[in-house]
Amino acid sequence: MTSTKITTTKVIAKKTKPATDQLEFGRHFTDHMFVMDYHTDKGWYDPRIVPYQAITLDPAAMVYHYGQTVFEGLKAYVTETNDVHLFRPEQNVKRLNRSNERMCIPEIDEELALRALKELVKLEKEWIPNAPGTSLYIRPFVIATEPYLGVAPSKQYKFVIILSPVGAYYKEGINPVKIAVENKYIRAIKGGTGEAKTAGNYAGSLIAQEKVSDAGYAQVLWLDGLEKKYIEEVGSMNVFFKINGEVITPALNGSILPGVTRNSVIQLLKHWNIPVKEEKIALEDIKIAYKNGSLEEAFGAGTAAVISPIGEFACEDETIVINNHQTGDLAKRLYDTLTGIQYGKIKDPFDWIVKLT
């Protein structure tokens, strides 16, 4: 597999690129996409870069019925010296295969996946916006395509990579968000699919997200499915708290998505000699820390926002206000360091950056 060649068919006419100030998240797509097919008789075959185009499937294709699918999300950044940076892409490819395993989808050769990703981004280099905070979002995904209504793993799949130029997450500077603690709906539970990046986790979360955004909150804080006592994650970010000078984040317990940003934050904190622990965290303990004045900061960590300071948690019975709705120093330092590394403005002591050549 390692030497499999990726063929390329280029578009005849390129699309007009959206103006930088019109960029949103996930609304515009580039001229080309990567596609590779799978059949149990052949394995993964025909890796190819082709013009961005619709996917045509039988209405009985299993993805429409039983949701056997996984996806990933990462970004490419253009630096001031016009280099293209990917941030830890091998981590996304590894997680893709861990998700595949849980969802009974055949493993994808990681070298090939990484190469596909790099070749596609390179071809679309002029699509990477260069205004501050902008980037090219990369969305690899796998869908089950066999036309069959039996509940069983599909015998056919498509692995696709699409690219979307995205605007800055913080248009007016990094700003704390309000988060609502979710008490009714559950995102995931150990033994379920929470650890995998798969469609069903997101479909099931929409109802909670809708409820809170109607009430003015940015995202929900998910509690554990068993006791609804322990903190899991925030919308599509992992969550961190700084209490009494120490940083804690929920331990990976089988229902939390293991974020690449989460892992990077932990490594950075260790590098800075700031104490950091991965533990089971009761919401109650956060309330106690709030009351005794030791809750210093809270923030989310994920590819989209990088670091998202949290200014307020709305619980059923009380509201926790953090750092007077101001961005904390640690959140700011992490944001500046991570984005600095991503955009090549500061040194990368961890070899996180993969530069496209």
Ligand X SMILES: Cc1ncc(COP(=O)(O)O)c(C=O)c1O
Q: Which stretches of the chain bind its own copies, using CB under 8 A?
A: 24-27, 29, 33, 52-61, 63-69, 71, 102-104, 137, 139, 141, 143, 147-153, 160, 162, 164, 184-193, 198-207, 209-210, 225-226, 235-236
- Contact flag: residue 225 with ligand X (CB under 6 A): no
What's phi and psi for 334, nearest 5 deg?
-65, -45
Q: Which does 146 bind (CB under 5 to 8 A by kind): its own copies, ligand X, none?
A: none
Site map for ligand X, 257-296, x if CB under 6 A?
A: x-xxxx----------------------------------
Show the tokens assigned to 278. 């991965």
Strand pairing report for 74-78 and 177-181: unpaired
Counting beta carbons within 10 angstroms of the beta carbon of residue 232, is it exposed (0 to 12), middle (13 to 18) or buried (19 or more)?
Answer: buried
Contact between 233 and 188 (Cβ < 8 Å): no
Which own/partner pairs from 205-212 qualify as long-range (CB within 8 Å, at least 24 positions apart)? 205/235, 208/182, 208/184, 209/235, 212/180, 212/182
Q: Which does 217 bind (CB under 5 to 8 A by kind): its own copies, ligand X, none?
A: none
Q: Smallest distance, Å, CB 61 to its own copies?
A: 8
- Tokens 């990477």 found at: 128
Tell which positions 45-74 bind ligand X, by CB under 6 A. 73
Q: Rank residues 47 and 264 by Cβ distance to ligand X and give the closer one.
A: 264
Element (H, E) at 95: helix 89-102
Contact between 103 and 193 (Cβ < 8 Å): yes
Strand pairing report for 306-314 and 219-223: unpaired
Q: Which does 170 bind (CB under 5 to 8 A by kind): its own copies, ligand X, none?
A: none
Q: Rank residues 51 and 192 by Cβ distance to ligand X and give the closer one.
A: 192
Of 133, 100, 139, 135, give the one whose Cα is nearest residue 116. Answer: 139
Q: Which of 47, 176, 302, 344: binder of ligand X (CB under 6 A)? A: 302
Q: Rank residues 45 and 202 by Cβ distance to its own copies and give the closer one.
A: 202
Q: Rank residues 116 and 307 by Cβ distance to ligand X and give the closer one.
A: 307
Q: Which does 247 bind (CB under 5 to 8 A by kind): its own copies, ligand X, none?
A: none
Contact between 241 and 248 (Cβ < 8 Å): yes
Q: Which does 327 bind (CB under 5 to 8 A by kind): its own copies, ligand X, none?
A: none
Q: Smallest distance, Å, CB 76 to its own copies?
A: 15
**Residues binding ligand X (CB under 6 A):** 73, 233, 236-238, 257, 259-262, 302-303
